[in-house]
Every structure is written in C-alpha cells, then in structure tokens.
Copies of this chain bind each other. A is one copy, B any other.
C-alpha cells in the first residue's frame, strides 16, 4: 500500500531531497527503522525490507550502523534474516566488536555489565582481575545487585575506566518504551564522579569506521535513524547528512529539538529510500 502524503509533507520532502547531490552511501540504523524489537524477535516496519532491497539494487553503498548490544552481531543478523531482511554480518557496524578492539589495544580486562546474549563477543578477552567496566544495554541484567558490582569495581580503581556501548536515553519495544544504556551510564558516572567513554553512536570514531567499511567520505553519505541525538546529531557532527524517520522511538517533539535539526524528516524508511533513489536518477 502506497501512502498518500499531504501536499505540505511533499513540499518539505522536496526541500531535503534537493540536498542529495553526490550521495554515494547510506547508513541505516536498525532498531526502530527496519523493525520494532520485542518479545519473539520483534516485527518488521512495513516497507523496510523492500527499502533495503531497493538501496542494494540502486548501486548505492549500504552499511547498517547500530548500537544494538542485546546479542552478538552474528545472532542479531540471524534474527534480522529470519524477519526477512537481506543483511549479512560484515554489513553491520556494532559497538561490541569495536569495544573489543579498544580493549585489546589498551590491555584492558573488562568487568561486563551487558546482556547475557552479548557475552560471547568477549570470549577471547582476559576478564580476571578487571581494570575497567564495559556497560551495554543489559536489560534485565540491570539489577540493583549487578549495578552495585559494577560500581564497586569502578570506585575501587584509582582512575576508573567506564566504556559505554552507546549513550541512548531509551528505545521502543513492542510493549513500550524502555531505558537504554545511557541512563545507567549516567548513574555510574554520577556515583563515581567520572565520564564514560562512549563506543557506538554518537561517537565520531564509530561513524568513521562504518564509512570506512563502505569506502565513502562523510559528505557523500546519509544516515537514517529514529534517534534525533544519537543517529541524526551524531552523523551530522561527523559531517554526514542525517534524516529522522517517524517510526520507532520518534516523538513529534523531536522535530523541535533544542540543538539537533535533521536534514529531513520522513514518515518511514520506505519513503526515505523512494526519495533518495529517485534523486539518483535525476
């Protein structure tokens, strides 16, 4: 079913579409853009599977750029494939592989406060006698007991090191909004009087590594996400254009955000891809 858009929406769309010259690559957020996560794996957002195919058929480079940390990248990709998405592991830039590289480079032994499903990503690392804490979206593992344990590791260190897999405030699952890792990161930052190092969106290095996978420069790329700060704002800080979809955790007040203004707002991924691909052929 093709959505009929009011004239005003088409005018606004036309505005940002004019800025698309030179686009060679698309970065896609996953949760809230491709699908809504939740019990039983979640549900695809209508039109998003076809939109991914359309990008791939267009000749544009494509990389998925997610802060998802509830499962290993391999398991996460398997789930998306089961939901019908044309996606493979090497097309996904995710925080856990990125933080593992950092831990190895800096000889850090992590205490993990993450989802059970993410633990295998850290299998190769020494975790005895930890000298840092890695926090991801741990969901039910965010218990008082586990938070206290992570806190005690940090407060016992002379210079506490906290690595946070993203800094999202909340996300949407099929049964409602849920607190994301950023909220718990803030709790530990405050308790220990420290600043976490963020691995994942909106960190510049994270967008840069996704761009490097595509071989595309920032000014040649567009990020599409549902998070006005971490997707859109983060991408813009890195020199990309940023579109916000009105799906997932999107709320109308995002369009009046105090310090982030998206290059464009679209109802969903399908609409964004229609416009982008149409511009390619002009």
Interface string of A177-211 (1 = CB under 8 A from B): 11110111011111111000000000000000000
A212 to B188, CA, bound (A): 36
Contact of A177 among B144, B152, B169 (CB under 8 A): B152
A176 at the interface (CB under 8 A from B): yes
Chain A stretch 123-171: residues in CB contact (< 8 A) with chain B: 138-145, 147-148, 151-152, 155, 169-170
A residues contacting the other copy or chain, number (CB 8 A): 31
State the main secondary structure of chain A at its contact with B: helix
Instruction: List the B residue with the shortest CB-CB distance to A140.
Output: B144
Instruction: List the B residue with the shortest CB-CB distance to A143.
Output: B143
List, in ascending order, chain B residues with CB within 8 A of A182's CB. Answer: 190-191
List, in ascending order, chain B residues with CB within 8 A of A145's CB. Answer: 140
Chain A stretch 219-260: residues in CB contact (< 8 A) with chain B: none
A176 to B147, CA, bound (A): 13
Q: B147 near A179 (CB under 8 angstroms)?
A: yes
A144 to B142, CA, bound (A): 6
A142 to B191, CA, bound (A): 15
Contact of A183 among B170, B177, B187 (CB under 8 A): B187
Q: B142 near A170 (CB under 8 angstroms)?
A: no
Q: A177 near B155 (CB under 8 angstroms)?
A: yes
List, in ascending order, chain B residues with CB within 8 A of A189's CB. Answer: 186
List, in ascending order, chain B residues with CB within 8 A of A177's CB. Answer: 148, 151-152, 155
Contact of A191 among B148, B170, B191, B193 (CB under 8 A): B170
List, in ascending order, chain B residues with CB within 8 A of A152's CB. Answer: 176-177
A136 to B177, CA, bound (A): 22
List, in ascending order, chain B residues with CB within 8 A of A151's CB. Answer: 170, 177-179, 183
Tell me the smallest distance from the CB of A162 to a CB of chain B, in Å.
13
Q: B178 near A193 (CB under 8 angstroms)?
A: no
Tell me the smallest distance from the CB of A146 to a CB of chain B, in Å.
10
Instruction: List the B residue with the shortest CB-CB distance to A170.
Output: B191
Other than the given A183-B187, A186-B189, 11 more pairs (CB < 8 A) read A138-B144, A142-B144, A147-B179, A151-B177, A152-B177, A155-B177, A169-B191, A169-B193, A183-B190, A183-B191, A186-B190
A-B contact pairs, 13 of them (CB 8 A): A140-B144, A141-B144, A143-B144, A151-B170, A151-B179, A155-B177, A170-B191, A182-B190, A182-B191, A183-B190, A184-B187, A186-B187, A186-B190
